[in-house]
Chain A
Amino acid sequence: MTVTAMLPDGQGGGSARATLRRNFWRGVARVLRRKPSRVAGVVILALFALMAVVGPMLYPAHLPRDDDALYAPPSLAHPFGTDFEGTDVLALVVTGSRYVILTGLATAVITVAVGTALGLLAGFHRGRWDTVLMRVTDLQLTIPGLPLLLVLSTVWKFEGPLEMGLVLGLLGWGGIARAVRSQTLSLRERGFIEAARGLGLSTPHIVVRELLPGMAPYIAMNMLIAVTGAIYAQVGLFFLGVLPFDSNNWGVMLNLAVFGGGALTSAAALPYLLAPLLAILLLTLGIVLVVDAMDEIFNPRLREE
């Protein structure tokens, strides 16, 4: 017998779930309204998402250049000035956003997927599984990411954002795996898991339907934080000049502004330096503000306040 059998027609499990969803989104709206900064965070992320999806379509494949306006100062025509060959810096930032954000997302997905899967597996099964997987995780945590990427870049050209994301993701799952494992170890001893076991539910069902939802908020927040980490890592690598050249890549822009334009010595290339920096800053800020909101949405104690 189930709860739904006792409900009148038209008010089955589906509508109960719908009610739950509605309540959830109302809660989300309430949490966002509580602090305007959180709304700003959502708006910033939405803008960047829009920029990544639509931005490159707004410009021609090869951005126009003004041969007589190299490192032109900011103006109405060029709000962030122009670069070393007279290309509008704002156009470069907009068209370059897709690569950065795609890489960030790919990294986050891989980091979270691998970390969560291994953490759940190790924490739920314990024993030899746990020992082996955690030794692998320890090994992964000891790998120095940046030096390895520097070496890898000499043999691998990382020509697409997904390639870049794959490598960054495979270098970043260790922390999440350990955290998820410890949470799993704690949750698996709770009564509801015992009950599920007693009911003879399958392990995949227990892990996916009982354990995972409890950890979903934590995983979601880690995913967003992983995006910022990925952005820093890739921009840093491009800034160091070890990755393929693409003039609208934010890291490449920073590199060219500093080393080619002398942005740290003279003001001419300063807008060229500040534009990608501002984009990185805003994107990171947006993520941090949304994570702050998520924290309250998912944390019952904070919600009670």
Chain B
Amino acid sequence: MKRLTAIAALAAIATATACGTTGTTSSGGIYTTIDGAKQIDASAPINPFNPQGSTFVGYDTMSLGWPKNDLMNPDLFYPGLAASWSATPDQGEVVIHLRPNARWSDGKPVTSKDVRTSIGLAYTQGGSAYTVNAGAAGAAADVVIVDDKTVKITQGANRSNAFLRNVLSTVVVPDHVYGALLPAGFWRTLQDARGTGPAADKAKTEITGLSQKVITFSPREDVSAGPFVLERVNPGAALLKRNPYFYDSAKIVPDKVKVLNYTGNEQIWNYLVSGKLDSAPFTAVPAAVMARIKATAGNEVRKGYSPVAASMAFNQSRKPYDDPHVRRALAYLIDRAQVTRVASPEAGTPSIATTGIHGSAAKAWLGPGLAGLNPYKVDPAKADQELRAAGMVKRKGQWGFADGKPWKVRLTVPAEFSDWVAAAKSITSQLNDHGIDASVTTSADYTLYLEELASGKLDVGFWLMALGPSPYNIYQRLYGSANGWSLLAGRLTHSPPGKDGNWMGGPEKIGGVNPGELTNRLNLATPEEQKKIVGTLAALTNQQLPVIQLYDYVNTQFVNTSRYTGWPPHDSEALRLPAGVWMQLGMIEKK
């Protein structure tokens, strides 16, 4: 470790940087932040495959590219370890050109072999482009090293237009550190796993059986291709120092990065109030706390597009939620603006209408068509009409079923999401005002909540939706596995309510339209076709209301101008990326 430090210091001195930083001076200062994705676990291995690993995306963990925060195009990326890339129109083949001067923090060059090994390791974890499930859409079928700096990755027969972005999101680790985790004959086994039959099943088991070995692997030290490399980590913070071999070292200003640990949002608020953090990713903040944060010298807020929305979702296999009239009635009774004020005043905007898409993206996708959709403005009279149309009866000011049974709306949320709890309470209060017996129930934590949801135990719950920018990802939240449609071996199947995780329980066809099929087609459609499909799905969603879209999230980031400047502006495409990537893009300067 000492020897490595000495080498690094010497190399840093030899490396002329724009700000004249060396490993021994501290003109760049220490940049302080938090990792929004995880808390620090000092005992976790320095391994990006470990969910708690002591590695930090954008600082010492590098991807081939960094996704831009675009409203519609999911394929826009900033270069990462990949200097450039090309893809065939159907994304059947992606060619990656690595940066010629990319090197690891131990001085070794970043090569195609590293990428191939990283892909092999990703297969052991499964998901996105690297899965052993035969026929999965958008899965890589072949990885070919063209030369030291060029890799060609080919899609399997079941194509998906998500392939390029999944490939570009590949986290790259050094082959000379991680390569030994892949047993001899791994690539042959992988080839066998892509088939069907007992031999393929055995191969699949072998590949996925490596998962735990990869996750628990603990390298002696951090070997990073990013702008920083881990120096030390303790329960309170992780300290990273400059990687003198980083390909764009001249752009990197801070000498060190300190990633502070936190146990909850309140701790992050306190860091911000005390002006400790140079930047902090999105954190839910109450209005009064936001005022205190803004009052701290140097603190500023950056807001931008966040492709996520909160919604109230129905289990349509439960009465009366199987009736669209009832769902519409509830939409007419909920004042979304008030719900947003109560729940997420700083990080949410009331949804314009239920479309399935975040409001900002909806304008881009639907254009003037958006105005033609029903905004479900608060209208108790219309709600009454809808409820009567559904056969509900009002007795002594309370709505109930026609047979005299009481109707109790039980809205469930995970207890740990304070904004959802507040939103749910606001909704139930509003419904109670209009004679609907509504109350909030909570699940102890999010994992349990999702289990309860998937098992069909809940009548109405909260659901994250509009996960853009990919239109397939957007509508998959409404017409995907949670609503019965799943893709197996290239074939789309629909399971009945209560089976295979179908808790939404919506109809397979609505007026001759199969929304799950349409959603699946988004995976292969051209941009023009996508627009058409999105228009159809938005109209259907607006009319049927499998969910009521409540508020669209606003990405709210915090920066402090006391020590550094050059922050991304409001609505920047880089805003949702870690500050380490901002540094790579040459954004952050010393004050």
Residues of A with Cβ closer than 8 Å to B?
62, 65, 67, 70-71, 84-85, 150, 153-154, 157, 241-245, 247, 255-256, 258-262, 264-269
Q: Does B292 contact A (CB under 8 A)?
A: yes
Closest to B268 in A: A265
Contact A259/B266 with A267-B288, A269-B286 known, Cβ cut-off 8 Å: yes
6 A-B pairs with CB atoms under 8 Å apart are A67-B341, A153-B444, A242-B415, A260-B286, A262-B266, A266-B288
Once the chains are docked, how many angstroms separate the CA of A245 from the CA of B422?
Answer: 11
Q: A85-B429, A269-B286 are in contact. Are A70 and B342 (CB under 8 A)?
A: yes
Q: Which residues of B contact A65 (CB under 8 A)?
A: 429
A-B pairs, top 10 by smallest CB distance, nearest first, are A268-B288, A241-B415, A262-B289, A260-B418, A266-B288, A262-B286, A245-B442, A245-B440, A259-B418, A242-B444
Measured between alpha carbons, how far is A293 from B544 in the docked complex, in Å? 66
Residues of chain A lying within 8 A (CB to CB) of residue B102 = none
Q: Contact between B288 and A247 (Cβ–Cβ < 8 Å)?
A: no
Contact, CB under 8 Å: B342 / A262: no
| B265 interface hit (Cβ, 8 Å) | yes
Q: How far is the CA of A65 from the CA of B174 in the complex (A)?
A: 59
Given the interface pairs A71-B288, A265-B270, the reply to whether A259 lies near B265 with Cβ below 8 Å is: yes
Asked whether any CB of chain A lies closer than 8 Å to the CB of B416, the reply is: yes
Report the minimal beta-carbon distance from A56 to chain B, rounded to whole angstroms.
16
**Interface residue ranges of B260-304 to A (CB < 8 Å):** 264-266, 269-270, 273, 285-289, 291-292
Assess the B273–A265 pair: CB atoms within 8 A.
yes
Distance between Cα atoms of A264 and B285 in the complex (Å): 13
Contact of A261 among B288, B291, B416 (CB under 8 A): B288
Tell which of A153, A245, A258, A267 touches B421, judged by Cβ atoms closer than 8 Å: A245
B426 in the interface, Cβ–Cβ < 8 Å? yes
> Within the complex, what minimum Cβ distance (angstroms) separates B414 from chain A?
9
**Inside 8 A of B441's CB, which chain A residues have their CB?**
157, 244-245
- Does A256 contact B286, Cβ atoms closer than 8 Å? no
B218 proximal to A (CB < 8 A)? no
Q: Is B325's beta carbon under 8 Å from chain A?
A: no
Write out the residue numbers on chain B whose beta carbons fall within 8 Å of the beta carbon of A244.
Answer: 441-442
By a CB distance below 8 angstroms, the chain B residues around A150 are: 444
Question: How near does chain A come to B380, taking the closest CB pair, in angstroms?
Answer: 16
Residues in B with CB closer than 8 Å to A157 are: 441
Query: B325-348 toward A: CB 8 Å interface, digit per residue (1/0)?
Result: 000000000000010011000000
Known: A84-B425, A260-B418. 17 other contacts (CB 8 A): A67-B341, A70-B342, A71-B288, A84-B342, A85-B342, A150-B444, A154-B444, A244-B441, A244-B442, A245-B424, A245-B441, A256-B422, A262-B266, A262-B289, A266-B286, A269-B286, A269-B288
Residues from chain A with a CB closer than 8 A to the CB of B342 are 70, 84-85
Q: Which residue of A lies closest to B289 (CB)?
A: A262
Decide: B269 and A245 in contact? CB cutoff 8 A. no
* A105–B132 alpha-carbon span in the complex (Å): 59
Residue from B273, B286, B433, B442 in contact with A62 in the complex, judged by beta carbons closer than 8 Å: B433
With A and B bound together, what is the CA distance between A268 and B416 in angstroms?
21
CB-CB under 8 A from A241, the residues of chain B are: 415-416, 442, 444
- Whether A84 and B422, one on each chain, are in contact in the complex, defined by CB atoms closer than 8 angstroms, is yes
Please measure, in the bound complex, the distance between the C-alpha atom of A84 and the C-alpha atom of B338, giving whole angstroms. 11
Q: Which residues of B contact A256 (CB under 8 A)?
A: 418, 421-422
The answer to whether A154 and B422 have CB atoms under 8 Å apart is no
| Contact in complex: B266, A245 (CB < 8 Å) | no
Residue of A nearest to B440 (CB): A245
Q: How far is the CB of A83 from chain B (nearest CB, A)?
A: 9
Instruction: Chain B residues near A266: list those with CB within 8 A.
Output: 286, 288-289, 291-292
A262 & B425 in contact (Cβ 8 Å cutoff): no
- Complex-state Cα separation, A243 to B287, whole angstroms: 26
In whole angstroms, how far apart are the Cα atoms of A71 and B422 in the complex? 13
Taking the complex as formed, is B432 at the interface, i.e. its CB lies under 8 A from any CB of chain A? yes
- B266→A264 contact, CB < 8 A: yes
Chain B residues positioned under 8 Å from A247 (CB to CB): 425, 440
CA distance A64 to B49 in the complex (A): 51
Contact A260/B422 with A241-B444, A265-B292 known, Cβ cut-off 8 Å: yes
Number of interface residues of B (CB under 8 A): 34
Q: Return chain A residues, CB-CB under 8 Å to B266.
A: 258-259, 262, 264-265
Enumerate chain B residues within 8 angstroms of A264, measured Cβ to Cβ. 266
Cβ 8 A contact of B448, one of A154, A255, A260: A154
Give the distance in Å from the alpha carbon of A153 to the alpha carbon of B448 in the complex: 11
CB distance from A300 to the nearest CB of B (A): 50
Residues of A within 8 A of B416 (CB): 241
A297 to B425, CA, bound (A): 48
Chain A residues with Cβ below 8 Å from B287 are 70-71, 268
Chain A hits for B70, CB < 8 A: none
The answer on a CB contact under 8 Å between B338 and A67 is yes
- Interface status of B419 (Cβ within 8 A of chain A): yes
B285 touches A245 (CB 8 A): no
User: Which residues of chain A come closer than 8 Å to B286, judged between CB atoms?
Assistant: 260-262, 266, 268-269
CB distance from A36 to the nearest CB of B (A): 40
CB proximity to A under 8 Å, residues B370-397: none
**Contact residues in A for B419 (Cβ distance below 8 Å):** 260
Please measure, in the bound complex, the distance between the C-alpha atom of A154 and the C-alpha atom of B457, giving whole angstroms: 13
Residue on A nearest B413 in the bound complex, by CB: A245
Per the bound structure, the CA–CA distance linking A256 and B442 in Å amounts to 13
B260, chain A: closest CB distance, angstroms = 16
B421 & A260 in contact (Cβ 8 Å cutoff): yes
Closest to B447 in A: A154
Q: Are A85 and B426 in contact (CB under 8 A)?
A: yes
Q: Which residues of B contact A154 (CB under 8 A)?
A: 444, 448
Least CB distance from B288 to A in Å reads 3
A153 CA to B441 CA in the complex, in Å?
A: 12
Q: 0/1 per residue, B234-272, Cβ < 8 Å to A? A: 000000000000000000000000000000111001100
Q: How far is the CA of A150 from the CA of B422 in the complex (A)?
A: 22
Q: How far apart are A33's CB and chain B's nearest CB, in angstroms?
A: 47
- In the complex, which residues of chain B have a beta carbon less than 8 angstroms from the beta carbon of A70? 287, 341-342
**Distance A261 CA – B345 CA, assembled complex (angstroms):** 12
Cα–Cα distance between A133 and B444 once the two chains are bound (Å)? 35
Shortest distance from the beta carbon of B338 to any chain A beta carbon, whole Å: 6
Interface residues of B in 396-430 (CB under 8 A from A): 413, 415-416, 418-419, 421-422, 424-426, 429
B415 touches A245 (CB 8 A): yes
CA–CA, A70 and B287, complex, Å: 10
- CB closest residue in chain A, given B415: A241
Rounded to whole Å, the gap between the CB of B434 and the closest CB of chain A is: 11
Could you tell me the distance between the alpha carbons of A84 and B441 in the complex, rounded to whole angstroms? 18
B402 CB to nearest chain A CB (Å): 24
Q: How far is the CB of B272 from chain A (nearest CB, A)?
A: 9
Q: How far does the alpha carbon of A181 sit from the alpha carbon of B338 in the complex, in Å?
A: 59
Q: How far is the CB of A116 from chain B (nearest CB, A)?
A: 34
The distance from the CB of B346 to the nearest CB of chain A, in whole angstroms, is 11
> Which A residues are in CB contact (< 8 Å) with B289?
262, 265-266
Q: How far is the CA of A150 from the CA of B415 in the complex (A)?
A: 13
B299 to A: closest C-beta gap in Å = 14
Q: Is the CB of B264 within 8 A of A85?
A: no
User: How distant is the Cα of A263 from the Cα of B270 in the complex, in angstroms?
Assistant: 12
Residue contact B285 to A262, C-beta cutoff 8 Å = yes
Is B425 a contact partner of A85 (Cβ separation < 8 A)?
yes
Task: Please determine whether A262 and B444 come into contact, CB atoms closer than 8 angstroms.
Answer: no
A243 to B289, CA, bound (A): 26
* Cα–Cα distance between A23 and B208 once the two chains are bound (Å): 81
Min C-beta distance of B311 to chain A, whole Å? 19
Q: A residues within 8 A CB of B429?
A: 62, 65, 85
A33, B341: Cα distance in complex, Å: 53
Nearest CB of A to B461, in Å: 13
Which residues of B have CB within 8 Å of A260? 286, 418-419, 421-422
Asked if A265 and B269 sit within 8 Å, CB to CB, the answer is yes
- State how many angstroms separate the Cβ of A74 from the closest Cβ of chain B: 15
Chain B residues within 8 Å of A261, by CB: 286, 288
| Shortest Cβ gap from A123 to chain B (Å) | 40
- Alpha-carbon separation in the docked complex, A247 to B427 (Å): 13
Contact partners of B413 in chain A: CB under 8 A: 245
A157-B418 Cα distance, complex, nearest whole Å: 19
